[in-house]
Amino acid sequence: MEWNSFQELISYWKRSTILTGTKSYGEFTIDIINDIDKVVLFLNDFYETPQDCESQFPKGGTLLTDMAHIRILVMHPIICKLLIKCIIEYSKFFSNFPETLENPTSRIKNWCAERLHGFLVPHVLLSDNSSISLSDHCGVGSYDLFLMSFNESVSTITEFLERINSECLVMPPQYFVKITEQCLLFLEDLSMLKFIDLIIRTATKINLNNTSYSNECEVLSCEFVEKLIFSGSSTFDKLSIEAKSGIWASCPISVEHEIMKIFGNILFPTEKEEYMTPNNIREIIRNELFFERIFVHPKICHICFDVLTNLINETPDWRIFRLVRITIQFIFDGCITRNDQNDSIPITKYFSKSFSKLILVLTNENEIFGSHNYSMINSSLNQFLTDLNPSDIEMFRKKEWIILMSFPKWYYWIIKSIFDIENYPHLNELEAPLQYLSWLIYPREDGFAIILKNTLIEIINYIRGK
């Protein structure tokens, strides 16, 4: 490998392009075409170098970077593919990914990712006489030349992403954020749909089985997600189920958009409808792909539950509350049904770990046998709230309240027992259920809650004629 002479050649090409500007750009690129076989031979040899490329050729990264900036080399199908392979091999990109881009060991991999992004960004198309001369020399139009290079880049990066998937490699999310930033121009191009779909599936696959929660989308560019969802194009609808699931499991804003779209269709149907019963609403929800995927990927359920809670908090409208309550009941019923069918995912996985004990009590009791059932629930509520930071109590109290309201059999039993004087002649036998009922009416833990419970007892005694 004639390293020094080739390095001088690339430096000359780069220096000439920068110094002379666009007027004679075509003349220099024609010289490059005449030496194109040397470039192919060099890159083939460079790709076959020993394992530790960076230490053996410390200036290799600079050389590859310079070559990636030379337009005519990137537009050559064979060189474009070889150049990408050399960049990936030089950085050893497929081994030992650091957790963050700030990690010192990530420098070379970050460099590789940035070079790969560059292949997706169109080089400036020149329209001077030199570019026309260059196109004529190549036997194609300037746009055709760019298109050949672009398609070759997409093909190579596709192979790169497929290898990540096939070998079950995990890349830090920052890499995909950068990649998707470069894909904004492609979102409305249906010919790029498979490529976009592959990027999304590769970026989000780790989130599908991860139940940790974040308010931000950490694996895709925010602009990318917003344009994909809100642009009004049909790209999102045409994505694969896996890609849609990945976005829902990674980006809370996409879940919020989906829920609002479904609720909007229920509240404001295109055709005038009469009153929708809960069964009508459940049937609509049941037929939505989004709610099908909730039961496949618990992470989506985590995000959905938080979105529904925030919706009640921000929109205190009885129609919204009705939809939220029916939706959460539908989710719980679906989780219970799958659990009864020996589904491999326990029901507690679909919700925050903090609610596990409460949900187990609410779902495991097929029948309510007495007030001791309510004692367990009250204990769970108290324990849960005492373990929280004061700043989190208000929102989590609302989540508890929504969960309890999603199991009407528990407060139906209380109402029935109030009038069952034969089995419960003394109200002290219903102390725990009444505490449960008063908490539903006034979900607080202060003096007013005690006053409310005592008031309920007085009212019930009056009804019972005591």
Non-local CB neighbours of 324 within 8 Å, separated by 6+ positions: 308, 311, 312, 402
pLDDT band at residue 94 using 50, 70 and 90 as cut-offs: low
DSSP code at position 207: H
Q: What is the pLDDT of residues 304-363, one digit of tens each?
A: 998 998 888 887 788 888 899 899 889 888 887 776 666 667 777 888 877 888 888 887
Burial 308-345 (b: 16+ CB within 10 A, else e): bbebbeeeeeeebbebbbbbbbbbbebbeebbeeeeee
Cβ proximity of 433 and 424 under 8 Å: no
pLDDT score of 104: 47
pTM for the predicted model, two decimal places: 0.69
221-247: per-residue pLDDT in tens? 888 888 888 876 678 889 999 999 999
